[in-house]
Amino acid sequence: MNSGIDLQQSVIEILSNLGLPPGVAKLVWLPLPMVLMLVTAVLGVFTGVWLERKISAAAQQRIGPEYIGPLGILAPAADGLKLLFKEDITPGNADAVLFTIGPALVVIPVFLSYLVVPFGQNMLISDLSIGVFLWIALSSIAPIGLLMSGYASNNKYSLLGGLRAAAQSISYEIPLALAVLAVVMMSNSLSTIDIVNQQSGYGILGWNVWRQPVGLLLFWIAALAECERLPFDLPEAEEEIVAGYQTEYSGMKFALFYIGSYVNLVLSALFVAILYFGGWGFPVPLEQVASLLGVSETNAVFQVVMAAIGIVTTLLKAYFFIFLAILLRWTVPRVRIDQLLDLGWKFLLPVGLANLLLTAGLKLTFPFAFGG
């Protein structure tokens, strides 16, 4: 496996060539990927919101945003601007400190999880050896934020909403982790890079979907529940109850919840792409094709093209799943809270365990196909 282009090395080299000492060059490099990732995440949110509006409109035979920028592309920006200018209300007798920390606690872990999302061999902030586990661990902080904002709102419905949201979030973390565990078992590593590399080489045939169809379903259902997307959006349930733990929030604090939910959706879709759909891998094994055509792997143009293709492929796969989530939103009715918990504990959990067992068995029997 060639390592593709190494942005860090080249940027630091360029900076050193400009006459900066290597330490300073490294210091200059440090914030760059983080800022890039933040921008990517925010852009992802904008695209997600825009897609949500457009696809929802299309599913209901409407047009959706049309005049705010070409095709209404600026509608999310207008949303953000509106929320920015709104009054930031803290309800009377509310716990102002917790009320402020709550949304931040929900949002920050989600953004932090972008640390391990790879867009290419070297296109991620850090290839941690705990990779996906970091994501799972970080997403378990969110319930605390939900409880905090529910508690601090000085509103019993908010408190109940927060409790419900937290219950949903922690009970769907387990099937999610089980599904991820099965994938991890096959790739023998928690690192996202290794997981993708384990799927590469055979193009579309090597992807984990074929080996983990049940796991994919589990993962997707649990991820939808984690993101509070529609079949499971009862913490918010805009038509039935007031927005649960978000009831008292307005202005930028509400925007944090809003952004957080969309970043989470994009993140989950990215993880589906990485864990089950070969990450940045193209459906056709491009490396083999290139070597057949006689293009060397160290060719600079080839590497740049490959990196671009990798990013685009990852995003396309992720956005396909976002599309699916939005389509599901207008297809499936919302479940009740007891049905939700039933599904989580009595269906997904046993199925997840069975899937894990099956994967372990298959791994022992067919080590060549299931990553022995």
Residue among 179, 98, 206 at smallest CA distance from 144: 98
Q: Which amino acid is at 346?
A: K
- The window from 6-14, 71-79, 148-156, 283-291 that contacts other proteins (CB under 8 A) reads 148-156
- The window from 41-49, 142-150, 195-203, 264-272 that contacts other proteins (CB under 8 A) reads 142-150
Residues in the chain: 372
Is residue 273 a contact residue for other proteins (CB under 8 A)?
no
- The window from 58-66, 71-79, 266-274, 283-291 that contacts other proteins (CB under 8 A) reads 58-66
Please report how close the Cβ of residue 53 comes to other proteins at its closest, in angstroms: 13
Please report how close the Cβ of residue 155 comes to other proteins at its closest, in angstroms: 9
| Burial class, 42, CB count within 10 angstroms (exposed 0-12 / middle 13-18 / buried 19+) | middle
Residue among 54, 51, 43, 62 at smallest CA distance from 259: 43
CB-based burial, 315-331: b 16+ in 10 Å, e otherwise: bebbbebbeebbeebee
Q: Indicate the residue among 151 and 271 with the shorter CB distance to other proteins.
A: 151
CA distance readout (Å), 147 to 106, 170, 227, 340: 10, 12, 16, 19
CA distance readout (Å), 224 to 31, 127, 174, 211: 32, 26, 13, 21
Residues 329-358, interacting with other proteins (CB under 8 A): 330-332, 347
Is residue 62 a contact residue for other proteins (CB under 8 A)?
yes
Q: Which of 34, 36, 38, 63 binds other proteins (CB under 8 A)?
A: 63
Q: What does 33-101 look like in DSSP terms, one character per residue?
A: HHHHHHHHHHHHHHHHHHHHHHHHHHHTT-----TTTGGGTTHHHHHHHHHHHS-----TT--HHHHHH
Q: Which of 309, 328, 337, 362 binds other proteins (CB under 8 A)?
A: 328
Q: Which of 163, 195, 218, 269 binds other proteins (CB under 8 A)?
A: 163
Binding mask 164-193 for other proteins (x = CB under 8 A): --xx--x--x---------------xx---
Is residue 34 a contact residue for other proteins (CB under 8 A)?
no
Is residue 255 a contact residue for other proteins (CB under 8 A)?
no
The number of beta carbons lying within 10 Å of the beta carbon of residue 82 is 11
Is residue 304 a contact residue for other proteins (CB under 8 A)?
no
Binders of other proteins: how many residues, by CB under 8 A? 46
How many whole angstroms separate alpha carbon 7 and alpha carbon 209?
Answer: 30
Is residue 230 a contact residue for other proteins (CB under 8 A)?
no
Is residue 327 a contact residue for other proteins (CB under 8 A)?
yes
Please report how close the Cβ of residue 365 comes to other proteins at its closest, in angstroms: 21
CA distance readout (Å), 126 to 24, 317, 336: 20, 22, 40
Count the alpha carbons within 13 Å of 24 in the hemisphere toward its beta carbon: 8
Is residue 51 a contact residue for other proteins (CB under 8 A)?
no
Is residue 58 a contact residue for other proteins (CB under 8 A)?
yes
Q: What residues line the site for other proteins (CB under 8 A)? A: 23, 26-27, 55, 57-63, 66, 98, 128-130, 133-134, 136-138, 140-141, 143-144, 147-148, 150-151, 154, 156, 159, 162-163, 166-167, 170, 173, 189-190, 327-328, 330-332, 347
